[in-house]
Amino acid sequence: MFKSNLLKAIVAIAIIAGGIYVIVLDEPAVPTGDINSIRP
């Protein structure tokens, strides 16, 4: 019982930490060139 809960906690922490890691390092790039050159 205890090992099962511990394993679930470790997996949950790993998923949450991985998500935060991706969000922090994801730094979206500003679009360049194409959008500014479109004319109506």
d(CA 2, CA 34): 56
Higher pLDDT: 2 or 29? It is 2
Q: pLDDT grade, residue 4 (50/70/90)? A: very high
SS (H, E, C) the chain: CHHHHHHHHHHHHHHHHHHHHHHHHCCCCCCCCHHHHCCC
Q: What's residue 6's pLDDT?
A: 93
Higher pLDDT: 22 or 38? It is 22
Q: Is the pLDDT of residue 34 over 80?
A: no
pLDDT tens column, 11-33: 999 999 998 888 888 766 665 65
* pTM for this entry: 0.54
Q: What's residue 38's pLDDT?
A: 60
